[in-house]
Amino acid sequence: MAFLRPQAKLVMPALMALELIVATVAAVPLALPGCPEACGRVTVPYPFGFRQGCFHAGFNLTCDHTRHPPKLLLGDGVEVDAISLADGTV
């Protein structure tokens, strides 16, 4: 079993590096700097946004603050429950 020790010594630094990468990616903001990241309970990642200068052309939404909690709306008032960039769904 002594032959596993050099390999075992490599596993711990690799795991620590992976943990650092995951923590860094998780800390990246979803929205542009100075832009809100959520409307009510819905996270709003860039390229979507609801404030001028916070979205890519064609990806603008509306955050209706008259409702409690605020509701995220698409186009003619369709309520958005979630946005997934990974799945490409709104």
- Conformation bin of residue 85: beta by default, left when phi > 0, alpha when psi is -120 to 50: alpha
Structural domains of the chain, count: 1
Q: Is residue 20 part of a domain?
A: no
Residue 87 to residue 22: CA distance in whole angstroms: 20
Q: Is residue 53 part of a domain?
A: yes
Q: CB-based contacts of 38: which residues, under 8 Å, 6+ apart? A: 44
Mean per-residue pLDDT for 1-24?
A: 55
Residue 12 in domain? no
Residue 25's pLDDT is what?
46
- Please give the model's pTM, rounded to 2 decimal places: 0.66
In a domain, 74, yes or no: yes
Q: Which of 23-27, 37-41, 70-74, 78-82 has the lowest mean pLDDT?
A: 23-27
Evaluate whether residue 66 is within a structural domain: yes
Higher-confidence position of 14 and 60: 60
pLDDT at residue 6 tops 80 = no
Q: Is residue 54 part of a domain?
A: yes
What tokens appear for 7 in the block? Answer: 């390999």
Kindly indicate the confidence band of residue 76, based on its pLDDT and cuts at 50, 70 and 90: confident
Averaged pLDDT for residues 73-89: 93
